[in-house]
């Protein structure tokens, strides 16, 4: 039986982006990017939403539009580390479901946030859940900036890579060509375990943190997104695209 998930959202946000300093505070259509993300979160089925940051400028901005803020360490290497600390500070039980909603995801459909939480809720043997979408272009398939994911018949992740996987020796697009969407749900207990694991060689080679989970025997549920994704704002070009996005 499919259960309706009870989950919480934590939005990690930092000021010191290499390519777009102060990214969460950049204006898109009269509001900071972070506010757009927060307002998306408020439309989901989440029972609580918190913004996790180490910067007073982001905290003050978040409070100005009514968001709850958790101040975290400035020594975190990733958003996952930041939300793990926030979850601990908030006193979440180990079985709580947490969605990691990146603070730069503009225009992400509410349906996808609910979907990833529901998938983890209804697949209790998995420690994490994430989403993907089909790749329809060979150029995208070979682009190392686009992360590919392979999963088995049970929708369990086999591998994530920046390389084209599975490689089609005939040269065309393989049937199972999927782009990973960087939206995650975790159980709070596993989130604490994961962040205590040392980075592994395949993770460092690919620069993909989720490979640490697979390397250490964790399982990740992967489902095809029920809606189109929004825009991950990582560069000036992305910012301009978001500002023109309808």
Pull the structure tokens for residue 115: 């979907």
Q: Is residue 107 part of a domain?
A: yes
164 has which bridge partners?
none
Question: Looking at residue 235, what is its pLDDT?
Answer: 82
Report yes or no: 213 and 120 within 8 Å, Cβ to Cβ.
no
Answer whether residue 144 is part of any domain: yes
Q: Whole domain around residue 207: which residue ranges?
A: 7-243
Q: Is residue 20 part of a domain?
A: yes
Q: Is residue 22 part of a domain?
A: yes
Q: 180 - beta bridge partners?
A: 132
Confirm whether 36 is domain-assigned.
yes
173 found inside a domain: yes
pLDDT of residue 4: 64
Does residue 160 form part of some domain? yes
Q: Into how many domains does the chain fold? A: 1
Indicate whether 146 belongs to any domain.
yes
Distance of CA 130 to CAs 68, 163, 180, Å? 25, 19, 8
Tell me which H or E stretch contains 96: none
CATH number for 136: 3.90.550.10
How confident is the prediction along the chain (246 residues), in pLDDT tens digits per residue? 555 679 999 999 998 777 788 899 999 999 999 999 999 999 999 999 999 999 999 999 999 999 999 999 988 988 899 999 999 999 999 999 999 999 888 999 999 999 999 999 999 999 999 999 999 999 999 999 999 999 999 999 999 999 999 998 888 899 999 999 999 999 999 999 999 999 999 999 999 999 999 999 999 999 999 999 888 888 888 888 889 876
């Amino acid at each position: 039986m499919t259960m309706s998930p009870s989950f919480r959202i934590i939005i990690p946000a930092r000021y010191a982006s290499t390519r777009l300093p102060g990214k969460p505070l950049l204006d898109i259509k009269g509001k900071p990017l972070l506010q757009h993300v927060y307002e998306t979160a408020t439309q989901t089925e989440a029972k609580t939403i918190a913004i996790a940051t180490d910067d007073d400028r982001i905290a003050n901005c978040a409070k100005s539009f009514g968001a709850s803020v958790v101040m975290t360490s400035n020594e975190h290497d990733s958003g996952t580390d930041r939300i793990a600390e926030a979850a601990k500070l908030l006193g979440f039980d180990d079985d709580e479901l947490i969605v990691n909603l990146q603070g730069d995801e503009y225009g992400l459909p509410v349906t996808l946030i609910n979907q990833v939480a529901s998938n983890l809720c209804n697949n209790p043997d998995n420690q994490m859940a994430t989403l993907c979408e089909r790749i329809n272009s060979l150029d995208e398939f070979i682009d190392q900036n686009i992360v590919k994911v392979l999963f088995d018949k049970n929708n369990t992740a086999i591998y994530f890579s920046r390389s084209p996987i599975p490689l089609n020796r005939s040269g065309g697009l393989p049937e199972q060509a999927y782009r990973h969407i960087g939206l995650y749900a975790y159980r709070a207990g596993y989130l604490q375990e994961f962040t205590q694991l040392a980075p592994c060689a395949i993770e460092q080679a690919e620069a993909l943190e989720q490979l640490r989970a697979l390397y250490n025997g964790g399982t990740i549920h992967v489902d095809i997104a029920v809606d189109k994704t929004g825009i991950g704002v990582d560069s000036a070009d992305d910012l301009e695209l978001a500002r023109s996005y309808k």
